[in-house]
Amino acid sequence: MNVEKTGGRLFGSGRCSSLSGLPGAAPVVHRMVEAMSQLQEEKAQLQEELVALRERLAVCDSDQQATSTQLQNQVEHLKQKLISQAQEVSRLRSELGGTDLEKHRDLLIVENERLRQEMRRCEAELQDMRAKPAVPCTGCEHSQESAQLRDKLSQLQLEVAENKGLLSELNLEVQQKTDRLAEVELRLKDCLAEKAQEEERLSRRLRDSHETIASLRAQSPPVKYVMKTVEVESSKTKQALSESQARNQHLQEQVAMQRQVLKEMEQQLQSSHQLTAQLRAQITMYESELERAHGQMLEEMQSLEEDKNRAIEEAFARAQVEMKAVHENLAGVRTNLLTLQPALRTLTNDYNGLKRQVRGFPLLLQEALKSVKAEIGQAIDEVNSNNQELLRKYRRELQLRKKCHNELVRLKGNIRVIARVRPVTKEDGEGPEATNAVTFDPDDDSIIHLLHKGKPVSFELDKVFSPKASQQDVFQEVQALITSCIDGFNVCIFAYGQTGAGKTYTMEGTLENPGINQRALQLLFSEVQEKASDWEYTITVSAAEIYNEVLRDLLGQEPQEKLEIRLCPDGSGQLYVPGLTEFQVQSVEDINKVFEFGHTNRTTEFTNLNEHSSRSHALLIVTVHGVDGSTGLRTTGKLNLVDLAGSERVGKSGAEGSRLREAQHINKSLSALGDVIAALRSRQGHVPFRNSKLTYLLQDSLSGDSKTLMVVQVSPVEKNTSETLYSLKFAERVRSVELGPGSRRAELVSWSSQEHLEWEPACQTPQPSARAHSAPGSGTTSRPGSIRRKLQPSGKSRPLPV
């Protein structure tokens, strides 16, 4: 309205002044007025159109505002929805997801723990049951039950392991579901982000639209200006008209432009509507998608829930079944316990009874011990008395045996003399000198007949062995003497006779056919072994030689050494030979070694052993020490096996030098032997043991209770009858000598041998006056053992009680 007034006024005043001043200008004015009115109409029309446009713009504006508000509202609404949905999701997650599963898992863990505890308890019970002594339970019903329980326990353990596996599977499943949920949430978030971006884009476009509208509004003043220009003063018509026409043109262009803009805006509006519709559709789509996702999620959650519930139910059912089984087992155990209780009660009663008995046991034991002690004492007394009786009997037996032995000895004589006639040998030669001069009594084996210088002479000895007699036959005769040595008697066995009569053959024998020496030791070994259960025996051996009254050790390292016979320094009156080697022997092999050693010693020392041996006395001294384990009785017996020097008399005229000296020594010693035996026989107070080394050495073995056996070796041939006669006479004399009654050399039963010696007038002792070398040929004698081996002596100088 203001614009119109101002324009009208300006235009009216200007134009009126210019028109009224020009002549003939009425038609022009008229046209101008018409044009003006036309223009005014147009102007009014334009104004109307402008108003209409303004109105439409305002409408559009309000529409756009409404649309934008609506869109904003929608966006707000969607935001709200999104927030609520996110809340819903979180709520759902908190409600369903982790919590329940965790709860379920916790429940399962608790159940599992409980089952584990139960299992541990069961195992402990089982171990307790195992720890209990197994023997009493063997075969009882509880052992079966416990075995069943153990089986069930192992089953339960297996099931628990399966449940654990199931639980871990469920946990895995829950984890997978949770991952899927997270995935769906992620997708939802992406959708929301896209939606927010779209909203952002829409709001941006809305803002652009607002700005366009604002710019359009700002372009309105030029129209007003045009209108103002239209209302120019009528005075300046043409110019004004042209101007106004130009303006009009411009306005029209402007209008056209505006129209164009409007059109564009309308198009934009339309497109914005379309966009909005699109967005709406998209939102709807998103919403439906969201709905679908939600539904899917709910479905999944439901299925998860169902799975979970199902798994829980299954686990629960299984656990229940297991529990039921365990409970049943427990009930069984309880019932067992209940059934055991009476047994326990009876056991307790038994135990109490036993306890009472145990309390009374020491007394009972004492009484029992007392009675047992008394019984044992009685038994011991009985045994003792029995033992005493036995000992007494044993001693009596010993004495009886001794008595018998002494009687036998008395009957046979302490000195027994036997003769052994050797067979005629090649060495005896041929002719009348080699004819047989010895005959025997077929009815009496103690008689020997000798044809000496055509006269028959007979001798009676204890026994006569013909040339047919074997080594064993001879040994049979001496066997009893040798065994008495084990009983503690001293024994001497002499081989007497002229050289070549067979002394060495009888004593030593040959390798194939050993003599008394080896057989005696063999017998001693077997006897000792028989008695080994009661007696412990030690057998030692020494070998010595007396040549020219010099005593030598045949087993020593230095056979040349002269040995002396001394009194024991302990005052026992016994004799011993310091330095005489003794070997402890246990077998025939040992004996052979000893013999061989002694023989080798002799061979080494003397170039002509045969000659030497015929002129020396060879002694094998066997000592038997015995201890009776039960009585403590100790015995010592000595067996002296003597191969005497040749007894042949050496003719006074034929002997000279060393040979004479030898003969004198042999003569002296053999005479001394005869003297000693005669003195003993006649029971003289003085027995000249010291007159020779031989008798001095054999003092103990010749006197008292000792036994002597003399084997008189006889050559059967004619040429030796003189020496044979001499030997047989010597033998007969010796045989008539009586020694004292025999006594055993035992510590428990010992007598002094001297007590039994009584004085008897001395009888004439034969004195061999001369000796002749008459018997060669003994050099072919082979002796047992041929290998020289060094033996370790058992003691170099042990006391030798001779």
Q: Which helix (H) or strand (E) holds 197?
A: helix 141-218
Question: E strand or H helix at 724, and its extent?
Answer: helix 721-736
Q: Which is nearer to ligand ADP, 503 or 599 (CB)?
A: 503
The binding track of 595-624 with respect to ligand ADP, each residue x by CB under 6 A or -, is -------------------x----------
| Nearest one of 262, 215, 223 to 50, comparing CA atoms | 223
> Which residue lies nearer to ligand ADP by CB, 494 or 597?
494
How many residues at the interface with ligand ADP, by CB under 6 A? 19
Contacted by 502, from Mg ion, ligand ADP, none: CB < 5 to 8 Å by type: ligand ADP
Instruction: Name the minimum Å distance from CB 689 to ligand ADP.
Output: 25
Q: What is the phi-psi region of residue 429: left when phi exceeds 0, alpha when psi lies from -120 to 50, beta otherwise? A: left
Instruction: Give me 648's structure tokens.
Output: 């042949």
780 binds, among ligand ADP, Mg ion, none (CB under 5 to 8 A by kind): ligand ADP
Which does residue 713 bind out of ligand ADP, Mg ion, none, counting CB within 5 to 8 angstroms by kind?
Answer: ligand ADP
Q: Count the alpha carbons within 13 Å of 98 in the hemisphere toward its beta carbon.
A: 7
Task: Give the nearer residue to ligand ADP in terms of CB position, either 240 or 501.
Answer: 501
3 state DSSP class of 583: strand
CB of 783 to ligand ADP, least distance (A): 10
Residue among 78 and 642 whose Cβ is closer to ligand ADP: 642
Closer residue to ligand ADP (CB): 422 or 552: 422
Q: Does the protein bind ligand ADP through residue 500 (CB under 6 A)? A: yes
Q: Return the number of the residue (349 or 472) whose C-beta is nearest ligand ADP.
A: 472
> Is 195 annotated in some ligand binding site?
no
Query: 78 vs 86, 148, 196, 200, 244, CA distance in Å?
Result: 12, 69, 9, 13, 55
Angle between helices 237-412 and 2-20 (to 10 degrees): 150
212 marked as part of a ligand binding site:
no
Measured distance CA(775)–CA(157) in Å, rounded: 112
For the bound state, the minimum distance from the C-beta of residue 494 to Mg ion, rounded and expressed in Å, comes to: 13
Position among 40, 85, 499, 601 found at the interface with ligand ADP (CB under 6 A): 499
Partner from Mg ion, ligand ADP, none contacting 638, C-beta within 5 to 8 A by type: none
Does 12 count as an annotated binding residue? no
From the list 501, 650, 670, 725, which residue makes contact with ligand ADP (rule: CB under 6 A)?
501
* Binding region for ligand ADP (CB under 6 A) out of 311-319, 360-368, 540-548, 772-780: 772-780
Q: Distance of alpha carbon 72 from its chain centroid, rounded? A: 93
Among 6, 203, 425, 483, binds ligand ADP (CB under 6 A): 425
Shortest distance, CB of residue 471 to ligand ADP, whole angstroms?
A: 8
Confirm if 717 and 751 have CB atoms less than 8 A apart.
no
Position among 154, 168, 348, 780 found at the interface with ligand ADP (CB under 6 A): 780
Q: Which of 612, 601, 487 is nearest to 543 (CA)?
A: 601
- Figure out which of the listed residues 504, 518, 692, 701 binds ligand ADP, where binding follows CB under 6 A: 504
Under 8 Å CB-to-CB from 485, ≥6 apart: which residues? 491, 524, 622, 624, 637, 638, 639
Q: Are 202 and 226 in contact (CB under 8 A)?
A: no
List contacts with Mg ion (CB under 5 A): 503-504, 778
Cβ proximity to Mg ion: between 67 and 778 the closer is 778
Asked whether 711 and 474 are in contact (CB, 8 A), the reply is yes
Minimum separation from the CB atom of position 785 to ligand ADP (A):
17
Dihedral angle computed from the Cα positions of residues 546, 551, 554 and 559, in that order, rounded to the nearest 10 degrees? -120
Query: Is 499 annotated as ligand-binding?
Result: yes
Asked if residue 502 belongs to a known ligand binding site, the reply is: yes
CA distance 599 to 725: 31
Select from ligand ADP, Mg ion, none the partner in contact with residue 505, using the beta carbon and a kind-dependent cut-off of 5 to 8 Å: ligand ADP
Residue 360 marked in a binding site: no
CB 563 within 8 Å of CB 552: yes
Per-residue string for binding with ligand ADP, 383-422, x by CB under 6 A?
---------------------------------------x
Structural tokens at position 156: 């339960």
**573 marked ligand binding residue:** no
Interaction mask 697-736, ligand ADP, x per CB under 6 A: ----------------x-----------------------
Q: Which of 791, 719, 686, 703 is nearest to 752 (CA)?
A: 703
Decide if residue 777 touches ligand ADP (CB under 6 A).
yes
Under 8 Å between Cβ of 612 and 602: yes
β-strand 562-563 against 415-421: which pairing, if any? unpaired
Query: Any contact of residue 505 with ligand ADP (CB under 6 A)?
Result: yes
Indicate the residue among 279 and 775 with the shorter CB distance to ligand ADP.
775
Q: Apex CA 628: angle with CA 746 and CA 794, to 5°?
A: 85
Considering the rule CB under 6 A, would residue 637 count as an interface residue with ligand ADP? no
The CA-atom distances, in angstroms, between 599 and each of 213, 555, 558, 603 are 163, 9, 14, 6
- Binding residue ranges for ATP: 497-504
- Binding residue ranges: 497-504
Q: Give residues in contact with ligand ADP (CB under 6 A).
A: 422-423, 425, 497, 499-505, 614, 646, 713, 775, 777-778, 780-781
